[in-house]
Structure 1
Amino acid sequence: MSDNDDGGRNDLRMPDDDEVFATVTDMLGANRVKVRCADGVERTARIPGKMQKRVWIREDDVVLVDPWDWQDEKADITYRYENQDADQLREEGHIN
């Protein structure tokens, strides 16, 4: 057991300056999903090519998205949290 054991807390990836937390609400097909962002905006998010075959994204997953500068209703998914990590984010009050 390590000295800095803090009850099984994982050190999670947090959003960069332009990223926001989001929850996947609907699968649209063609590598696109509908997400509800933490800032209250519903966006159409794109799953980038490097994630398509490696990271499986489903409804109700918690993800990080990078909203587009020129079109606020669209975004790119940058990261997907595992269920255990999403539960930890909820417990710590980062997401609802």
Structure 2
Amino acid sequence: MFGSAELMLGANHIRIRCIDGVTRTGRIKGKIKKKVWIREGDVLIVVPWNFQDEKCDIIYRYTKPQVEWLRKNRYL
């Protein structure tokens, strides 16, 4: 699911506005934490947790050219 980073909460957590309209607390997984720098306003792919709908894991961060391509092809 697509989401947009709204607020950095610290300790590898981010408040994310998801495409379904729900605001979730996202956790940056260790694999991404060491390679990718996530900032407020970035477009992300998130996976909601099965047992807590208000939390999710961050899987991927899109770059600016990728976001433009997604908007041009009406994915966002």
Shorter chain as denominator, the TM-score bin is over 0.9
Please report the TM-score for the alignment, with normalisation by the length of structure 1: 0.77
- Which of structures 1 and 2 has the bigger CA Rg? 1
Residue in 2 that maps onto 1:25: 6
**Could you tell me how far 1:87 is from its partner in structure 2?**
1.2
Q: Which runs of 5+ in 1 are unaligned?
A: 1-19
Instruction: Give aligned-pair identity as a percent.
Output: 51
Higher RCO, 1 or 2 (CA under 8 Å, sep at least 6)? 2
**Counterpart-to-counterpart distance in 2, 1:38 and 1:90:** 13
Residue in 2 that maps onto 1:12: none
**Counterpart-to-counterpart distance in 2, 1:92 and 1:23:** 18
Please report the TM-score for the alignment, with normalisation by the length of structure 2: 0.96
Match of 1:55 among 33, 36, 59: 36
**Counterpart-to-counterpart distance in 2, 1:90 and 1:28:** 27
Q: Which protein is richer in strand relative to its size?
A: 2
**Counterpart-to-counterpart distance in 2, 1:90 and 1:59:** 18
Residue in 2 that maps onto 1:17: none
Residue in 1 that maps onto 2:26: 45
**Counterpart-to-counterpart distance in 2, 1:88 and 1:44:** 26
Count of aligned residue pairs for this structure pair: 76
Q: Which runs of 5+ in 2 are unaligned?
A: none
Per-residue CA deviation, residues 40-74 of structure 1 (Å, 9 max, x unaligned), is 11000000011112111001100000000000000
Matches within 5 A, 1:57-96: 57-95=38-76
